[in-house]
Amino acid sequence: MPVSTSGEEDDVPLPVFSRRRHTIKTEDDDEYVAPKVSRKREEKEKNDSEDEIVLYSKRKRQSKDKGDKRRKLKKVKKETKVREGVKEKRVEKESKVKKEKKVKKESKESTMKKESKVKKESKVKKEIKLKKEEQIKEEVDLYKWWENQDDFDGEIKWHTLEHHGVIFPPEYKTLPKSVRLIYGGEPVSLPPAAEEVAGFFGAMIGTENAKNPVFQKNFFHDFIEVLKENGGCPEAEIKEFDKCDFSKMYAYFEKEREKKKALPPQERKRVRDERLKSEEKYKYCLLDGRKEQVGNFRIEPPGLFRGRGAHPKTGKLKRRVYPEQVSLNLGKSAPVPSPPRGHKWGEIRHDNTVAWLAMWRENISNSVKYVRFANNSTLKGVSDFKKFEKARALKNYIDAIRTDYRKKLKSRLMIERQIATATYLIDVFALRAGGEKSEDEADTVGCCSLRYEHVFLKPPNVVIFDFLGKDSVRFYQEVEVDMQVFKNLRIFKKEPKKPGDDLFDRLDPSILNKYFHSYLPGLTAKVFRTYNASKTMQEQLDLIPNKGTVNEKVVQFNAANREVAILCNHQRNVSKGFEAGVQKMNEKIEEMQWRKIRLKRILLQMEKKLKKKKGDYFVEIDELSKETEKEIVERVLENEKERDEKRYTREKQKLDWDKKKLSKEEYKQKSEALKEDRKKRAEKFKEKSKQLKAEARSHKYELKGSMTVEKIEKQVEKLEERITNTNLQRKDKEDNSTVALSTSKVNYIDPRLTVMFSKKFDVPIEKLFTKALREKFAWAIESADAEWRF
């Protein structure tokens, strides 16, 4: 779970969880040893004589007395058969070993390949087994709190809490002596702390942030401050940013980035595995004796603050956080985690009325940062559940609230008019409440903090809103409003008001929330947004017909989600790779169309009569021009050639990395085998290239014996399905290029609506929720059915 500021998330009451019952073994149970008695006689015997009972007990004691001849004979035959079977197996095994030895002598290279393949397969099987075991373990540990909702409103959030603290970023390692800051054309030496800050900027050369004058100014101010704190620069007095040259630092960091990129996959995996292993104990805590996942357990590393939009503090130094600044929260009986050597914790708390594990104050905006439980944890699940239930409860009060604020739109009291108008805007246009901002914060506004210049009026009742909302995302909408709301906004803008003045000068979020609380305790502007988002989603889903393929249903679901995102103004900029991504999809569709036409031509070559029987089926053959086909074939061949080269480079890097582990002979053999494989692939590619180009010219194809009309028609059908799906994906991508669907899906749409759609429309939940969301909303997946309503 990401670390959040103090105002972002209210603490949620913890339910009184029921204790798990375990069977307790007594001392007698441990010491008890079952007596050795004869087996229960299940065999049906004709003569239950005394002799047979004696014989049975004697055989149990392994006596040498003679038993029943018939039974003994059967036993002897069975044993002989077993011995013969063992002997046969041994002979087979020995002959197999001899054959393997012979094969080894005849082809060392072949055997090495087989062994590596076997090792690889066994390794994969082992990994799959471990993953399954971990999955089973996680499923066993899953606590279904939604089945135990006895008391979610209690002040106590936990009874026992144990965790391992937080991970601090590694200490700074100084740069090589050859990598220095250049000041006034001369290299200068810096104290390690100042060098680290200079390196932060040096690594960002060429980025939009580094070109920003505000970013440069803030960075240089903090850099000089750190430089002075640590004794300054011995060679020169650094005063001017323009005289600083970070090119050496930039070149060094670029080289390091390239080195990381060049690491072979197995080395990256090794580094990742080592990191995950070292972090393992921090990932989980014990909450009331249950293993629960922790959110972001890492302390943020030092760096330069970016901020969103035109943030006035962009470029300022985020200072390193030390254990002395960190407070830990855990149970009284829990062992206190050890701080890094030479340090101590700022404070140890035992507060079971809050839902955080660690906290510290950051220096940029002086806000508190928390380490909380992960999104899939019990407490976070309870918090989400309560949030959506509060929004559902609003439907019982919304009519009364709307009647009241519409009445107060004409109130003689200005404060009541402002409350009513603001409530209308929050209810109808899903505006955020908005609060006061200090001068050193980004100029983002909400409903209560709207200013004169943010609202334009066009008679008779059109209003244009234009302002920066949360995260500096522009809110621009031209909408029709209630006539009385339009009149009120005109009154609120009357002279002597001017640009810079508040529109709602008598109102702030606390006054507005007080009005909301008079109807429903805990009701806020955010609850209105959640209610309207979920209600809109329910209405949109009701319009979707239950027909079509799974992919078609997913596209329709995303279209419904998009309506909610637009309502909540969840916008995003078109990503840099968007155009390239769409182009790639277009090329993919073109290639699949060409493959389909190629197959249809083969069909006609096999049976010319088919064109008369299925005329429409073959129409598209004539629509593909020779020039277009030539371009597609060249692109297909170029892509294949590129894939082969990448494969060879990857294998070569892997072999070179493993060189130290191999003997000279082994390395030589593998290197030659790799070159031979490359040569064979090149020859194969050459043949294929020649064949495809000849086919594109003549439209004559080599017919193989395994080809049948039925088989080719099935291949055509599969390609058509793939083309349809890719077209749907492309449309979905284009439609949602400027809208952030995930924000509303995660925070504002009741997850039970998504689960309802999944179950009602037979769409796998994996198509709608990522793995992280399936874990976060496990309570919704378990509790909602196909008939659930918001």
pLDDT for 375-418, tens place per residue?
999 999 999 999 999 999 999 999 999 999 999 999 999 999 99
Looking at residue 52, its pLDDT comes to 41
- What dihedral angle (degrees, nearest 10) is formed by the CA atoms of 488, 491, 492, 496? 180
Q: What is the CATH number of domain 398-519?
A: 3.90.15.10
Looking at residue 47, its pLDDT comes to 43
pLDDT for 166-197, tens place per residue?
999 999 999 999 999 999 999 999 999 999 99
For 198, phi and psi rounded to 5 degrees? -60, -40
3-class SS of residue 667: helix
Question: Is residue 565 pLDDT above 90, yes or no?
Answer: yes
Least confident of 138-142, 277-281, 294-298, 679-683: 138-142
Cα gap 679→682, rounded to integer Å? 5
Confidence of residue 11 (pLDDT cuts 50, 70, 90): very low
Residue of 250, 370, 405, 748 with catalytic role: 748
The H-or-E segment that residue 372 falls in is: strand 368-372
Confidence of residue 133 (pLDDT cuts 50, 70, 90): very low
Confidence of residue 119 (pLDDT cuts 50, 70, 90): low
Report which of residues 442 and 646 the model is more confident about: 646
Looking at residue 201, its pLDDT comes to 97
Q: How confident is the prediction for the chain on average, in pLDDT?
A: 84
Question: Is residue 20 pLDDT above 60, yes or no?
Answer: no
Indicate where the chain has its CATH 2.170.11.10 domain(s). Answer: 1-18+137-373
Question: Is residue 31 pLDDT above 50, yes or no?
Answer: no
pLDDT for 664-689, tens place per residue?
899 999 999 999 999 999 999 999 99
* 2.40.160.20, 2.170.11.10, 3.40.50.300, 2.70.70.10: CATH of 1-18+137-373: 2.170.11.10
CA dist list (Å): 677 to 680, 682, 689: 5, 9, 18
Question: Catalytic site residue 515?
Answer: no
Question: Is residue 80 pLDDT above 70, yes or no?
Answer: no
Question: Is residue 65 pLDDT above 50, yes or no?
Answer: no
Question: Is residue 506 pLDDT above 70, yes or no?
Answer: yes
Looking at residue 137, its pLDDT comes to 47
Question: Is residue 589 pLDDT above 70, yes or no?
Answer: yes
Looking at residue 659, its pLDDT comes to 86
For 349, phi and psi rounded to 5 degrees? -115, 160
Report which of residues 655 and 463 the model is more confident about: 463
Cα gap 250→257, rounded to integer Å? 11
Looking at residue 48, its pLDDT comes to 46
Q: What is the 3-state secondary structure (H, E, C) of 560-576?
A: HHHHHHHHCCCECCCCC
Question: Is residue 432 pLDDT above 60, yes or no?
Answer: yes
Looking at residue 126, its pLDDT comes to 56
Cα gap 196→169, rounded to integer Å? 13
> Which segments of 615-663 does DSSP mark as H helices, in order?
626-657
pLDDT for 742-751, tens place per residue?
999 999 999 9
Confidence of residue 139 (pLDDT cuts 50, 70, 90): very low
Residues 6+ positions from 554 with CB-CB distance below 8 Å: 728, 732, 763, 767, 768
**Average pLDDT score over residue span 220-237:** 94
Question: Is residue 372 pLDDT above 50, yes or no?
Answer: yes
8 Å CB contact between 691 and 676? no
**Average pLDDT score over residue span 610-634:** 89
Looking at residue 499, its pLDDT comes to 94
Looking at residue 598, its pLDDT comes to 94
Looking at residue 95, its pLDDT comes to 54
Reported for 734-740, long-range contacts at CB under 8 A and 24+ positions apart, including other chains, are: 734/582, 735/558, 735/559, 735/562, 736/558, 736/562, 737/574, 737/575, 737/578, 738/571, 738/572, 738/573, 738/574, 739/562, 739/565, 739/566, 739/570, 739/571, 739/572, 740/565, 740/570, 740/571, 740/572
pTM for the predicted model, two decimal places: 0.74
Tell me the Cα Rg of the chain: 36
**Average pLDDT score over residue span 638-646:** 93
Looking at residue 660, its pLDDT comes to 84
Looking at residue 134, its pLDDT comes to 55
CA 411 to chain centroid, in Å, comes to 50
Looking at residue 737, its pLDDT comes to 87
Question: Is residue 34 pLDDT above 80, yes or no?
Answer: no
Looking at residue 141, its pLDDT comes to 53
Indicate where the chain has its CATH 3.90.15.10 domain(s). Answer: 398-519
Looking at residue 36, its pLDDT comes to 43
Report which of residues 707 and 99 the model is more confident about: 707
* Pairing mode of beta strands 317-318, 303-304: antiparallel
**Average pLDDT score over residue span 23-48:** 41
The closest alpha carbon to 533, from 556, 512, 564, 493, belongs to 564
